[in-house]
Amino acid sequence: MDEAFAIVDGAVSPLGDETVPLGEAAGRILATDVVSDVDWPPFDTSAMDGYAVRAAEARAPEAGLRERPGLAAAGDPPPAPLEAGEAVRLMTGAPLPAGADAVVPVEQAKSEAGRVFFERAPETGAHLRRRGESVARGTALLRKGERLRPAGVALAALAGADPISVRRRPRVGIVPTGNELVSAAQAPGPGKLRDSNGPMLDALCRARGWPTVAREPVADEPAAVERLFEHVADADVLVTSGGVSAGDLDLLPPAAARAGWEILFHRVAVRPGKPIAFARRGRQFWFGLPGNPVSASVCFQLFVRRALDRMEGIDSPGAPLVLARLSRRLRPAGPRETYRDARLAEESGGRRVEPLPTAGSHDIAAHARANALIRLPVDGGPLEEGSVVTCVLLER
């Protein structure tokens, strides 16, 4: 496994940056820091509909203050400075007049014949927002390498970062192979089954924001398989399923080699997923995943995601690893590093992980209940209940 990871890491490098409209940037990895060119709030402003006053002049609220005619609303230029003994009626978001140091909400005020009276004396600073109290101009609001979340989009917008520089996302071509496959919308005839790997791999990519081109299943015929390796279009990575294990119909690695791909590895000491192949042609890469659905999913999580994360310039590529306590004893793995479907839960005492019963690498129903994989080391002893194991998180 370590050798395979080293080969992937050595072969694949970040694709670089591009500039996109902010409206299309949610979920992308930032290529530069976003620094605010404004204070936030941008000016002293009222947090309520009410009256801007000098708090010290409203200490005797029953005496009232002189009400300036008119009303300042959000979007208006700042009103003229507050005069002595004066109150200015304003709306939420309106700029404060210079000299005001409190706002009395309209609910606590009564206007009568050019004077306004207050229920109680305001505190200095009440119901107003000071320029720059949230963000000072020049502050880095978002950092290079960070994923842009919705609140981050708000920060980028207020800082004027539109368009915005982000990492290029890898484009993924997805091709299931196998004579037995029909597409999900079809009724399988005798000996046939519906392609579930194609839609799953497509969904795994889309969930991480990687654009895909998903193709119809390709038959196990040398000419058809060779064609799929010749016409990869603009995909950065081609991901196939099926046709890489040792049987007679496992045509993909030789067809890839004939089409000019350099096989970087084929077969890894991992369970499930042993037949996996990895190749390169120019700047394009191919992952040949095994056809068994759990193997295809696990290989995606372990290998494909690692490569695609790297291409997108993500700082810690690959599915995250966490430690958790095992809920029951597990038999040792043997000569291949083994990944077991499991449910991981946060409990008061820490994380606890429960291995799920599974019928094998075709048991996609068991895998679909898993939110983690337990990693069992090569040639380790049995793992006792309560021991700490490494888990791969599937949902992050």
Does the footprint of ligand AMP cover residue 291 (CB under 6 A)?
A: yes
Q: How many residues make contact with Mg ion (CB under 5 A)?
A: 4
Does the footprint of ligand AMP cover residue 242 (CB under 6 A)?
A: yes
In whole angstroms, the minimum distance from the beta carbon of 188 to ligand AMP comes to 11
Does the footprint of Mg ion cover residue 217 (CB under 5 A)?
A: no
User: 284-289 and 237-241: which strand pairing?
Assistant: parallel
Cβ-proximal residues to 349 (8 Å cutoff; 6+ apart), any chain: 325
| Binding piece for ligand AMP, criterion CB under 6 A, among 87-95, 137-145, 155-163, 172-180 | 172-180
Does the footprint of ligand AMP cover residue 297 (CB under 6 A)?
A: no
Contact 206, 246 (CB under 8 A): no
Does the footprint of ligand AMP cover residue 290 (CB under 6 A)?
A: yes
Q: How many residues make contact with ligand AMP (CB under 6 A)?
A: 18
Tell me which of 93, 198, 313, 318 binds ligand AMP, using CB under 6 A: 198
Does the footprint of ligand AMP cover residue 293 (CB under 6 A)?
A: yes
Does the footprint of ligand AMP cover residue 355 (CB under 6 A)?
A: no
Nearer to Mg ion, 164 or 238 (CB): 238
Does the footprint of ligand AMP cover residue 173 (CB under 6 A)?
A: no
Does the footprint of ligand AMP cover residue 197 (CB under 6 A)?
A: yes
Q: How far apart are CA 263 and CA 285, in angstroms?
A: 10
Contact 53, 103 (CB under 8 A): yes
- Encode 59-96: b = buried (16+ Cβ within 10 Å), e = exposed: eebeebbebbeeebeeeeeebeebeeebbbbbbebbbb
User: Binders of Mg ion among 268-307, rule CB under 5 A?
Assistant: 291
Tell me which of 57, 101, 195, 312 binds ligand AMP, using CB under 6 A: 195
Q: How far apart are CA 141 and CA 122, in angstroms?
A: 34
Which three-class secondary structure state does DSSP give residue 117? strand
User: Number of H helices and number of E strands within the chain?
Assistant: 8, 26
Instruction: Report the interface residues with Mg ion, using CB under 5 A.
Output: 178, 242-243, 291
